[in-house]
Structure 1
Amino acid sequence: MKITDVKALRRDFPIFRHRTYVDTACYAPGYARVAQAAADWHSSAMLMPGTSFDQTLAWLKPVAFARVEAAKLLGAQEEEIAFITSTGMGNCKIADALDLKAGDNVVINDLEFPSNVIAFTARQRKGVEIRRVNHQGGRLLLDDFAKLVDDRTRLIAISSVQWTNGFRMDLKSLVDLAESKKAYVVVDSCQSLGAMELDVRKTGIHFMVTQSHKWLFGPFSTGLMFVRRDLIGKYDPTIVESGNLFKNPARQPYHHQLDLDNLTDYAIEFVDTAAKYQSCPNLPGLWGLYESLKTINAYGIANIEERVLHLTDRLIERLRAVKGFTVSTPCGEGERSGIVSATTGSVDTDLETMRRLSQLGVGVSVRYQAGCGGVRMSLHFYNDEEDIDRLISALLGETKPLYFH
């Protein structure tokens, strides 16, 4: 579906009725269909028609549909998808399953959001070495990773898009480097999935974790985990819940999978899918996620990426004409995403700018890490050219509130 009627799309995001919101990288504005789906689950929980078995199966059907949509978005198989509550929890389960030991090393970088590295840095207490690539002018260079990856490297942890400046990593080249040393790549796609194409087959990534409240415009505490098919049977989690042992209950009821009268041996026999990494499902969240994934796939991620890059092209061009601001986002071919950062050169002035814009009805953030960042603006496919015009007007010194109806 081509993105031709943006006004119709924006009607399902009520924030645009009164505010210019260009801050999806912090969290997405509420999507009416997601809110309605979560409300529908709560309504059904209050009414509880039928038996608890029947009710559970009915609740899990949208979860199964969400898995189908997630697999479609990623170019994955359904059995490679698990649902998680956060990127940090997903990474903890990966670190746990890989059983990192003294002498192993994990390669990170100095631009990463903490949740993509602390699960691995915590293993330093067990003797795991953490090696860090330092950015070069906001870019992460493959050659710098190559200098640190060796035969004891187990994992490279990387974001598909960096949270401070929107730098987009060449994942395929990084995977090729990792595999040359029999290492894995885990990708945090929080700042790209839903806006930028991420095909797990084309990139070859081994693991991926993400949350839905940013570019997937889904609920909080609801996320996705991808585990490549050839690795599912190779590693098992030690953080285990009963749900890790069941096949898809929306297609095969619980009482057809286990003898519920004879569980006293408490045997652990994992399901042979990525679902063995899941926890108890956040049902209202996953009902909402199904709606957001369905919308993204209906428009097509290639169409969405094309529109997002068109909008950020326009924003970068306009920002370069704003006196006193310097675009700090890398703008080379293949490096850009939906995030654009620009700075006055002063953190304090950038913060003052953010607060002044907010008073004018324009939502942005300020983010810095390792000396990289500035006023962070982030555009999704539901933004339009008028959002950019109002943002630029505010940056140029407009003093009247830019609310509109």
Structure 2
Amino acid sequence: MGTRILIPSGALGLGYDKAALNRAVEAKPDLIAIDGGSTDSGPSYLGRGVSKYATESTKIEWQGLIEARAAAGCPLVIGTAGTCGTDSTVDWLYNITLEILSDLGQSAKIARLYSEQDPAKIAQTPLSPLSAAPHVDAGTIQNCTHIVALAGAEQIQTALNTGADIIIAGRTTDTAIIAALPLQNGNHAGAAWHGAKIGECGALCATNPQSGVILVDFDDTGFTVTPMADGAKATPHTLSAHMLYENSDPFILFEPGGHLDVTRATYTAIDDTSVRVTGSQWEPSDTYTVKLEGARIAGFQTILMVLLRDAHYVSNAQIWCDDIIAKHATKVADRLGLDPATWHAELQIIGRNANLGTLEQRTLDASELGVLAILTAPDQATANTLGKMMNPYLLHHPLTQEEEQPTFAFPFSPAEIDRGAAYKFVLHHVMALVDPMDAFRLVVTDV
């Protein structure tokens, strides 16, 4: 039997084309699948266990999908709920779901798949580092505020087998929520994983990436991708290019339980809109492993922003910044006596090299630059003190002693803005499981 998956968007929170969604629902999908997040926005969301998206906006989009699920008569699955997939964000979206069902007067069976791990237990668990993984010890792991394991297709299948109408999953791989049902239905395994990879970001694999909605049809030999928005088209190029998205190898994709190999995949346009793909292969592994993501507090930060417009300072901005960093460090040592290893200050030149730093190769003329100061310390009070000691330099520091004292522009008052805790990722490791559900919990509720 074939399997039709409706993917409304690359993530809940990005929006979707309502007309295209209605068109896709009329095509009678077997499942609606949408991603809820990723690590794209940095470690803070995992570290704090919160979503990057506003509750009010999320509720509107999620209600549209719950209504679509009811109209289609099929399950609705979201993976990595609430950006980071912690237990707290699963519960956050579950509570939103309860409000929506109450507003609509609907009933539903809801399955919640929890992915969060106990840091103390993980500290005692054998882990295997992935490429470029940081060194970790038991203390580092125990200091993580949140650790999640990335669920694969097997955990989603367990949730589907409960007969749930709505599945709210914690951290999952982006592909798992799409591949699970085709695999369960006995469709081609290579096609299931490859189609899931191509479809994970909705219409990003099409010529109108902002439209969101696509259908992916899986069968015994391959899969077909069809964008649903007016004017959106899939082409062999747009589909094959997506294998490079968030993936260092354009032919190999690792997942729990094996890897996808698309070396021999063939992409064929079957009409002006749809593309058919065959030849993908799934290679099972001997050991079932899941990736772990963990975040811990790296310090507390205070930031300041100053604007440079004088041409003399714009052209010598890096020299100006380097001199301020040196003089600020001397003042901190003299007046606070802080161990240099316990705090950090940096000045990023916004508009010149703030993104790539010393790797920047472009030389562009600018009429105005922003300089962002970032002070990091073990506690917020010290970070704020460091920021206040940086303040006078950013306001008046001259390039030379011979020139008149300059004045630069602070866009905010007070100039010092306390950011609070700053987090960093500390895990890029996998752990082996005997049973795929060993690291996960499933709770099913009739609402």
Q: TM-score, structure 2 length as denominator?
A: 0.28
Structure number with higher helix proportion:
1
Tell me: higher relative CO, structure 1 or 2? Use CA pairs within 8 A at least 6 residues apart: 1
Structure number with higher strand proportion:
2
Higher radius of gyration, 1 or 2: 2
Q: TM-score, structure 1 length as denominator?
A: 0.30
